[in-house]
């Protein structure tokens, strides 16, 4: 398929659902600025490939001059998945660089929650790679639904009230992490994928094979599916909850190492 057809699909057919919300996030949260050197992380899935293509188009039309590098961390994927990744990258005319990390093997031997360990190891690898290559930002493909799930998951499984922000600074590396698809709904990404007859790879880690366990994120998705039956706006309310925090009605909170309690008002 001609790359111009993909551009028309995104900027015309999915302008309201995807392209406009991408631009809104980029502009409102100042995710891309003059002189940025951004490592765009591609996982092989629909979200990261859409992110890569959006960033490619924004580089073409943006008033800013910035550099992009598309990187794929090979955690130990099968040859079939690698081939599909390369084919998709070619479709979108995206030059990817592959870094072999062997993370799946480390995950299998960790004895801990495999998805959590994999995420931490991949994130650390990305930060180090970006810093060593002189990049000041890392772009990830997390979307609106990821924000909702993460917010709820933190409350139900982590005893914490926090969200997934569109832009954060690394504590250990001089690198920022940005999420330009922060406002994009997954249902619209899926429709974009299907309308363009695209096929993407899924994680083929075998660390959870035979355990019979459902991931915490999958449990949250199932719970949200149930809640939506009686509250169709549940996702919106969860997403917006972090925009409307009243610190006066929180038992305690902290900013970095600085701790605050409701008892502060009584001292």
The pLDDT of residue 125: 81
When pLDDT is averaged across residues 235-244 and rounded to a whole number, the result is: 96
**Strand, coil or helix: 145:** helix
- Kindly report whether the global pTM for this prediction surpasses the value 0.95: no
When pLDDT is averaged across residues 236-255 and rounded to a whole number, the result is: 94
Q: Which residue has the higher pLDDT, 133 or 205?
A: 133
For 170, phi and psi rounded to 5 degrees? -70, 140
The pLDDT of residue 263: 94
pLDDT per residue as tens digits for the range 217-230: 899 999 999 999 99
When pLDDT is averaged across residues 168-174 and rounded to a whole number, the result is: 86
pLDDT per residue as tens digits for the range 113-157: 566 666 777 777 888 888 888 999 999 999 999 999 999 999 999
Distances (CA, A) of 204 to 44, 87, 105: 11, 18, 12
Mean pLDDT across the chain: 89
Q: How far is CA 186 from the centre of its chain?
A: 11
> Is 3-266 a CATH 3.40.50.620 domain?
yes
């Amino acid at each position: 398929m001609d790359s111009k057809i993909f551009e028309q699909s995104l900027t015309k057919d999915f302008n309201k659902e995807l392209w406009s919300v991408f631009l809104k996030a980029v502009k409102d949260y100042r995710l891309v600025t003059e002189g940025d050197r951004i490592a765009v992380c591609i996982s092989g899935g629909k979200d990261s490939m859409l992110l890569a293509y959006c960033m490619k188009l924004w580089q073409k039309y943006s008033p800013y001059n910035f550099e992009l590098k598309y990187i794929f961390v090979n955690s130990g994927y099968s040859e079939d998945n690698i081939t599909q990744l390369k084919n998709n990258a070619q479709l979108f005319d995206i030059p990817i660089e592959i870094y072999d990390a062997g993370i799946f093997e480390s995950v299998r031997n960790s004895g801990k929650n495999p998805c959590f360990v994999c995420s931490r190891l991949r994130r650390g690898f990305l930060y180090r790679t970006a810093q060593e290559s002189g990049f000041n930002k890392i772009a990830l493909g997390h979307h609106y639904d990821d924000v909702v799930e993460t917010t709820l998951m933190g409350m139900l499984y982590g005893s914490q009230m926090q969200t997934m922000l569109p832009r954060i600074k690394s504590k250990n590396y001089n690198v920022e992490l940005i999420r330009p698809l922060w406002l994009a709904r997954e249902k619209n990404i899926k429709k974009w994928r299907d309308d363009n007859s695209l096929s993407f790879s899924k994680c083929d880690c075998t660390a959870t094979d035979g355990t019979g366990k459902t991931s915490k994120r999958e449990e949250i998705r199932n719970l949200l599916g149930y809640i939506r039956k009686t509250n169709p706006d549940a996702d919106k309310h969860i997403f917006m909850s972090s925009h409307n925090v009243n610190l006066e009605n929180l038992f305690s909170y902290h900013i970095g190492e600085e701790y605050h309690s409701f008892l502060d008002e009584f001292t």
